[in-house]
């Protein structure tokens, strides 16, 4: 069956530009998560959506980061006025009963 | 604040050896613990999920145990193969996952 998909797979942007990253979760999964992994570092939680509840935004590093989810479907992570420290792989995961399944990630490079 | 530690950070072994990877966490209030592998330049593949009420899970050559009271989990890999070479991550969950820093495993022929 189809897994979690993310687009684009790679994104190169200039410092100061806005970017949007997309995640399509596994159909029927009520929970959706965004994480990021900077080079040589571990995975950091960013934001979590569960059904119609208010999202857990506790991991967002600054107000330049925001995310939306349409129902129990696609999610977009937006980074405004990108900085070089935003360069990372951004991973999306979805789950139904606890086990999280990850997409292949979007590699973001800010030049 | 939950902290997850994995040892060793790196491991290099000849093919055929049995391996134990260790994971420890500071807060025993978890829903589950999940083991992943990460191949270079790729996403995460879920290997095993252990619910907080469980003691272990097995999948093929992999066996993961959980001792919630002591804040420890181990991943046992039997008869290692070069294809097992990857970074292995453990993560604990209440809702979001808190990841360890991983064990980089290399299995050479």
Q: What is the pLDDT of residues B27-81, one digit of tens each?
A: 999 999 999 999 987 789 999 999 999 999 999 999 999 999 999 999 999 999 9
- Measured between beta carbons, the chain A residues lying within 8 angstroms of B31 are 98
Q: Which residues does residue B33 pair with via DSSP β-bridges, in sequence order?
A: B50, B92
CB contact under 8 A, B46 and A100: yes
What pLDDT is attached to residue A1?
55
Q: Do B99 and A100 touch (CB under 8 A)?
A: no
**Of A42, A56, A99, Cβ closest to residue B34:** A99
State the pLDDT at residue B17. 96
pLDDT, average across residues B72-99: 95
CA proximity to A64, closest of A77, A47, A41, A81: A81
How far from chain centre, in Å, is Cα A69? 11
CB B24 within 8 A of CB B8: no
Chain B residues bordering chain A (beta-carbon distance below 8 Å):
31-32, 34, 36, 42-46, 49, 51, 89, 91, 93, 95-102
pLDDT of residue A27: 92
Question: Which residues make beta-bridge pairs with A102?
Answer: A93
CA pair distance B51, B61, nearest whole angstrom: 20
Q: Do A100 and B102 touch (CB under 8 A)?
A: no
**pLDDT < 70 positions in chain A:** 1
CA separation, residue A82 to residues A40, A42, A67, A78, A79 (Å): 20, 21, 15, 10, 6
Q: What is the mean pLDDT of residues B16-31?
A: 95
pLDDT at B87 over 80: yes
């Amino acid at each position: 069956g189809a897994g979690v998909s993310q687009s684009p797979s790679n994104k190169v942007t200039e410092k100061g530009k806005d970017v949007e990253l997309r995640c399509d979760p596994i159909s029927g999964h009520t929970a959706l998560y965004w994480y990021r992994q900077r080079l040589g570092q571990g995975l950091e939680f960013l934001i979590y959506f569960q059904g119609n509840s208010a999202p857990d935004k506790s991991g967002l590093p600054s107000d330049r980061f925001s995310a939306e989810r349409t129902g129990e479907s696609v999610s977009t992570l937006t980074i405004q006025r990108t900085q070089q420290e935003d360069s990372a792989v951004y991973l999306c995961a979805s789950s139904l009963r606890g086990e999280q399944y990850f997409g292949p990630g979007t590699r973001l490079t800010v030049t | 604040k939950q902290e997850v530690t994995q040892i060793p950070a790196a491991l290099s072994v000849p093919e055929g050896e049995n391996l134990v990877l260790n994971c420890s966490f500071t807060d025993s209030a978890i829903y589950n613990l999940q083991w992943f592998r990460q191949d270079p330049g790729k996403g995460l593949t879920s290997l095993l999920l252990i619910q907080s009420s469980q003691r272990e899970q097995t999948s093929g050559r992999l066996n993961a145990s959980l001792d919630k009271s002591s804040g420890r989990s181990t991943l046992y890999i039997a008869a290692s193969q070069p294809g097992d070479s990857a970074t292995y991550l453990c993560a604990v969950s209440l809702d979001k996952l808190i990841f360890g820093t991983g064990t980089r495993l290399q299995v050479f022929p």
